[in-house]
């Protein structure tokens, strides 16, 4: 038990100091695709009972959340010197990981796969 306390304290300090930030452009692409999946999951939850004619009723995630995550991803990409074109390619390569349950979610997946996001 005594060994566990310093380990937990160390892990808390590392995570508070940004230890979870990506360390490569591949990591930035992983972070981006993970965020896109979170958005898809949220949209899917809000559109679960809607049909194709009900798209106007879909509530989207708050814009500030999207903006903050995009800014963090851009910041990480700049810090690591990631080329925007290469980053777009890396994200597109990971698009196969995305999944959606609703038509709205599938539209987002299709946009990412085609390089539109």
- CA–CA dist 80, 60 (Å, integer): 31
The pTM score is 0.70
Half-sphere exposure of 75 (CA within 13 A, CB side): 8
The DSSP call for residue 96 is G
Please state the domain extents for the chain: 25-113
> Residue 31's pLDDT is what?
94
Which pLDDT tens digits describe the chain residue by residue (117 residues)?
444 444 344 433 333 444 578 999 999 999 999 999 998 998 888 777 766 666 665 666 666 777 888 899 999 999 999 999 999 899 989 999 999 998 878 888 888 888 765
- CA–CA dist 25, 27 (Å, integer): 5
- CA–CA dist 17, 13 (Å, integer): 6
> Residue 54's pLDDT is what?
62
């Amino acid at each position: 038990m005594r060994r566990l306390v310093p380990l937990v304290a160390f892990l808390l300090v590392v995570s508070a100091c940004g230890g979870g930030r990506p360390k490569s452009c591949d990591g930035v692409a992983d972070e981006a695709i993970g965020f896109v999946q979170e958005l898809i999951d949220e949209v899917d939850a809000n559109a679960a009972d809607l049909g194709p004619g009900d798209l106007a009723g879909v509530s989207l995630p708050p814009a500030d959340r999207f903006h903050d995550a995009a800014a963090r991803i851009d910041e990480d990409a700049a810090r690591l010197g990631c080329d925007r074109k290469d980053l777009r390619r890396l994200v597109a390569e990971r698009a196969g990981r995305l999944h959606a349950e609703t038509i709205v979610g599938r539209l987002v997946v299709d946009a990412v796969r085609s390089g539109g996001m």
